[in-house]
Amino acid sequence: MPRPDGRASDQIRPISFTPNFAPHATGSVLVASGNTRVICSAMIEEGVPGWMKAQRVEGGWITAEYSMLPYSTQPRKARDSSKGKLDGRSVEIQRLIGRSLRAVIDLDALGARTLWVDCDVLQADGGTRTASITGACVAVALAARSLQAAGLLKKSPIKKFVAAVSVGVVGGEAVLDLNYVEDKDATVDLNVVMTDDGQFVEVQGAGEESTFSHEQFLAMLALGKKGVADLLAAQQEVLA
């Protein structure tokens, strides 16, 4: 069946990165994936969390925060601060972003520092968590360059690059990089997080009031691998 924006089933949305979007951050980027737009920033803070000191854990730490700005959706999305707590979805996503980055960053190379990664959704049209991971990796790479240039890091802590993409089954067909219209009608929703050497960091998948076969799962994984490869190439292009 034809997709709403005319893309092929294995085609990602147009992706772009605008570096240094937040001037006070150590590294930042505005990532635009179709009509989804997320500001990803990375800032360094001297010192590590208390639990690391208590347990005498060497090296540094990476932590992520994720939020959707009130005007990122229709209708307006209330700020978590107005409710007095993070909603469950935000907590889940920021933990996913943190795990994805910690899988590819040498924490020992950071030293006794905390790298804060903030992902703020300006406009949501599906795939905000995957765009956040993809953009956050670029922001961290830019931050690492700045820290090396300032003499605070001897070498880049980035061991691998990481990106993420959504896949789903819509109208019985597996499709790559769902926008909101497709996502709300999908019978299966899958998020694939992978590194530049083809390793999986995380696969999140579930049937939406439906089930899926082994063959459909393999087809979605194949689409996800292709989509991540395309995103990784776009990351390298902007960093070059």
User: What pLDDT sits at residue 165?
Assistant: 98
Residues 209, 185: contact at Cβ < 8 Å?
A: no
- Asked whether the predicted pLDDT for residue 1 surpasses 80, the reply is no
Summarised one tens digit per residue, pLDDT across range 139-198 is 999 999 999 999 999 999 999 999 999 999 999 999 999 999 999 999 999 999 999 999
Answer yes or no: is pLDDT of 81 > 90. Answer: no
Which pLDDT does position 38 carry in this prediction? 98
Q: What is the pTM of this model?
A: 0.95
How far apart are alpha carbons 95 and 237 in whole angstroms? Answer: 27
94-152 per-position pLDDT tens digit: 999 999 999 999 999 999 999 999 999 999 999 999 999 999 999 999 999 999 999 99
For 65, other C-beta atoms within 10 Å of its C-beta total 16
pLDDT surpassing 90 at residue 78: no
Give per-residue pLDDT as tens, 15-56.
Answer: 999 999 999 999 999 999 999 999 999 999 999 999 998 999
CA dist list (Å): 88 to 70, 75, 85, 93: 17, 19, 9, 9
According to the model, what pLDDT value does residue 221 have? 98
Average pLDDT, the chain: 95
d(CA 18, CA 34): 14
- Round to whole Å and give the CA distance between 164 and 193: 4
For residue 138, give Cα distances in angstroms to 101, 206, 224.
11, 28, 19
Res 82 pLDDT > 80: no
- Please give the pLDDT value at position 80: 80
Of 13 and 78, more confident: 13
Where do the domains of the chain lie, and which CATH numbers do they carry? 15-239 (3.30.230.70)
pLDDT confidence band for 5 (50 / 70 / 90): very high
pLDDT at 196: 97
For residues 133 and 164, is the Cβ–Cβ distance under 8 A?
Answer: yes
